[in-house]
Amino acid sequence: MDSLNTKLTQIGPGIYKISKQSARPEKLEINGELHSRFMDIFYLRDSTQQLNESKVIALCREREKLPSYGEVNSTVKQVFSKFISEHGGINILEIGAGKAPTIKNYNGEGKYILADTDPKVVELNITNGGEYTWFSSSEGLKYPSEFFDLAFAVFVFHFKIYDSQLIELRRCIKPNGILLANVYLLNDEERHELSASIKSQGFSLVKVSDPIEICRNHEFWLFSPERQSLETAEETLKKILASLFSE
């Protein structure tokens, strides 16, 4: 256990940022409470699954001030971009897009909708001309049922995904639609609970391991209302991973 001996900035209750010049141990004791390192420079008292939406928003706003998310984020987005390109789909939803959408220049025939929990991010992107929607535990998607062919989330599912959000995704995704998310950091119990929540809304689910283990406990999760579509998507994803990371 490491005692506090370096400069910390409090972001919110139980959330701290450490200066880049400081030592960054895996665990840090702050005011008598043990905090775990997250994304190299943050320390959290609670697991990411236990953070409420206001804490997630505060953390993500601070995270976006960093000059770069680094190679890990870029590599994972490369996987997603190739999957989106090869799998196809007319109407696409990115969940938790923030200020840096995965698809830079969407030229498909349908819509590329960006969704986020932070209303300020939504407002900013709408002002800049993006098609953005607020999506939270209390705010549903403003789109018709069975509208999206594909939905995806990059580094989002380690935070709490509410049942109300899964219900909305099930409503808005086409019967043969696909949802792709990467999952990391969560322990076995948290993964089991998330998996059970997804399946309880009528989704079939497959988990594809990360062949290079780019970050802690990293997997790709695919889910769909239709099992056959899921099998095709799984095959596509595995081919992409093999092509990108084969020795």
pTM assigned to the model: 0.92
What's the fold here for domain 70-245? Rossmann fold (3.40.50)
Domain ranges of the chain: 8-63, 70-245
99-110: b (≥16 Cβ within 10 Å) or e: eebbbeeeeeee
Closest CA to 43 of 21, 55, 26: 26
- Residue by residue, pLDDT tens for the chain (247 residues) are 444 446 899 999 999 999 876 778 999 999 999 999 998 889 999 999 999 999 999 999 998 887 555 788 889 999 999 999 999 889 999 999 988 889 988 877 889 999 999 999 998 877 766 789 999 999 999 999 999 999 999 999 999 999 999 999 999 999 999 999 999 999 999 999 999 999 999 999 999 999 999 998 999 999 999 999 999 999 999 999 999 987 5
